[in-house]
């Protein structure tokens, strides 16, 4: 039942960071372990977007695909991810993007458990490493894509 919770300040706006995390199709370009991501469906209603996406993660000889429901809530500056199908017993993930004098306070929370104890032993430490690296990967991508905000310059 690994959990990871991280908050960090980045020199970009909440809108920029939300857009960056919401761009799930780009994850294979920069996110640790993410080999492939396919959006199965996208529905918009009342200012929110609901995605159903398949993410394939790979490490050495192990490759697993799982399906998630991703709810983009731009008015609240939040993204909620719920597990649908794959190698986990459960997976819950939440991103928050709050204004900060230096740019944005990014919150990242994930709680998950593998269905298979064997897969958990094989992939567990790599997932822990990857999730700890996620915030840095997104921040580095933001630095490449967006100019520094006036607050962060």
> Number of structural domains, the chain?
1
Chain centre to alpha carbon of residue 72: 12
Q: Alpha-carbon distance 150 to 115, whole Å?
A: 46
Per DSSP bridges, beta strands 62-73 and 48-59 are antiparallel
Is 30 part of any domain? yes
What is the chain's Cα-based Rg? 15
Kindly report the pTM of this predicted structure: 0.87
Tell whether 117 is covered by a domain: yes
Would 124 be classed as within a structural domain?
yes
Return per-residue pLDDT of the chain as tens, 153 residues.
578 888 999 999 999 999 999 999 999 999 988 999 999 999 999 999 999 999 998 877 878 899 999 999 999 999 999 999 998 899 999 999 999 999 999 999 999 888 888 777 766 677 777 777 777 899 899 999 997 654 444
Is 151 within the bounds of a domain? no
User: Does 152 fall in a domain?
Assistant: no
Domain for residue 88, yes or no? yes
**DSSP string over 48-76:** EEEEEEEEEEEETTEEEEEEEEEEEEGGG
User: Reduced to 3 DSSP states, what percent helix, strand and coil does the chain have, rounded to the nearest 5?
Assistant: 30, 50, 20
Specify the CATH number for the domain of residue 7: 3.30.530.20
In a domain, 150, yes or no: no
7 falls within a domain: yes
Task: Supply the range of the domain harboring residue 97.
Answer: 3-145
């Amino acid at each position: 039942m690994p959990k990871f919770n991280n908050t960090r300040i980045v020199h970009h706006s909440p809108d920029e960071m939300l857009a960056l995390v919401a761009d799930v199709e780009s994850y294979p370009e920069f996110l640790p372990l993410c080999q492939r991501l396919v959006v199965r469906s996208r529905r918009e209603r009342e200012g929110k977007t609901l995605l159903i996406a398949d993410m394939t993660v790979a490490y050495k000889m192990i490759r697993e695909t799982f399906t998630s429901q991703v709810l983009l809530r731009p008015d609240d500056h939040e993204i909620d991810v719920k597990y649908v199908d794959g190698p986990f017993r459960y997976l819950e993930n939440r991103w928050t993007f709050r204004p900060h004098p230096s740019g944005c306070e990014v919150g990242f929370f994930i709680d998950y458990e593998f269905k298979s104890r064997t897969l958990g032993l094989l992939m567990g430490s790599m997932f822990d490493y990857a999730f700890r690296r996620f915030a840095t990967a997104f921040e580095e991508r933001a630095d490449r894509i967006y100019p520094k905000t006036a607050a962060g310059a």
